[in-house]
Amino acid sequence: MIYMDTVSEVEQWARVRGLDRPSNSSKQLIKLMEEVGELSAAYNKGRQDKVIDSMGDIQIVLIILCMQLGVGYGTSLLDAYRQIKYRKGKMINGSFVKDEDLEGEK
């Protein structure tokens, strides 16, 4: 699987540079928010090339943050997918709202 090979390569890259240390996690979280801001700016400006770059940067930063926190990136993705896989809901004003959140509105 190419995707998980790339995750492993990012993890190795981070280890070589000492970025995998838990003591760096607060800085990595700040970096994640910075990258999300760059994605938002690129999206708002219609810069597809920068959107793609920002999405990649976010994933790299998140992979490293997972390492720092001792959370498997692939495991966390799989766990999140298992939670949403059968989720039902509907689109409201362009956002997906879970059925369980809609029940409170009745």
Pairing type for strands 95-98 and 89-92 reads antiparallel
Tell me the three state secondary structure of residue 99: helix
What domains can you pick out in the chain, each with its CATH number? 2-105 (1.10.287.1080)
Tell me the three state secondary structure of residue 71: coil
AA letter at 95: S
40-80 pLDDT, tens digit per residue, is: 999 999 999 999 999 999 999 999 999 999 999 999 999 99
pTM: 0.84
Query: Where does residue 2 rank: exposed (0-12), middle (13-18), buried (19+ CB within 10 A)?
Result: exposed
Tell me the three state secondary structure of residue 98: strand
- Positive or negative CA dihedral for 17, 22, 27, 32? positive
11-42 pLDDT, tens digit per residue, is: 999 999 999 999 999 999 999 999 999 999 99
Helices and strands (H, E) in the chain, number of each type = 5, 2
